[in-house]
Amino acid sequence: MKWLPCVSVLVVAMMVGVTGCDEAKKGMDEVKDATSKAASDVSSEVGKINFGDFDMKSIQGKLSGITDGLKNVSSDTVDDVSAKISELTKSLDNSDFGKMSDTAKAAVKTAMSKFGDSVKGAMDNISDDSVTQKLKAAIDPLMEKIKNM
């Protein structure tokens, strides 16, 4: 629920950004920063739960790396960001959610869902189609994994 205002601002900023307005670009940067802060807030709350053998700290680091990478992704950095996304997907594939408590499972699902929403929002801000296509190839399997958690 708390992502809805961010997404709304993001859509408005994108619409105005297309017209070349400097204020819209500034607004988009603010939304990207808010997305990073929200991911950090989720990580902080999730960090208070015992996840047993599940390496949540590693996952949190990967989430932050991806969020930071998406902030200023370009044709020069897209391969690095895509690799980070693929690495996260592999980490999730190798994770054993069955050994977690119900509270831990719910926290992981919530964090990953919010992260997925922020990735979708960031993707909407990318104007370079070649960058979008490269990211999409890495993001689609991750989004499917998040959806099926």
What is the per-residue pLDDT across 108-136, written as a single tens digit (0 to 9) for each? 788 888 888 888 888 888 889 999 999 99
Amino acid found at 126: I
pLDDT of amino acid 43 = 55
Q: Give the total number of structural domains in the chain.
A: 1
List Cα–Cα distances, 90 to 54, 82, 142, in angstroms: 14, 12, 9
Cα–Cα dist 76/56, whole Å? 30
**pTM (2 decimals)?**
0.61
- Residue 2 in contact with residue 38, Cβ under 8 Å? yes
pLDDT in the model for residue 54:
61
Higher confidence at residue 97 or residue 45?
Answer: 97
Q: How far is it, in rounded angstroms, from Cα 60 to Cα 98?
A: 19
Give the C-alpha separation, 132 to 32, whole Å.
16
Half-sphere exposure of 143 toward its Cβ, with a 13 Å CA cutoff? 13
Domain that holds residue 8: 4-147
Q: What is the structure's pLDDT at 64?
A: 84
Query: Looking at this protein, which amino acid is placed at residue 93?
Result: D
Residue 4: what pLDDT?
46
Q: Which residue has the higher pLDDT, 79 or 104?
A: 79
Question: Is the confidence at residue 103, as pLDDT, over 60?
Answer: yes
Residues 110 and 12: their CA atoms lie apart, in Å, by 26
More confident residue, 10 or 35: 35
Judged against a pLDDT cut of 50, whether residue 105 lies above it is answered with yes
pLDDT (tens digit per residue) in 48-92: 555 555 666 777 788 888 888 888 899 999 999 999 999 888 888
Structure tokens at 48: 């208070």
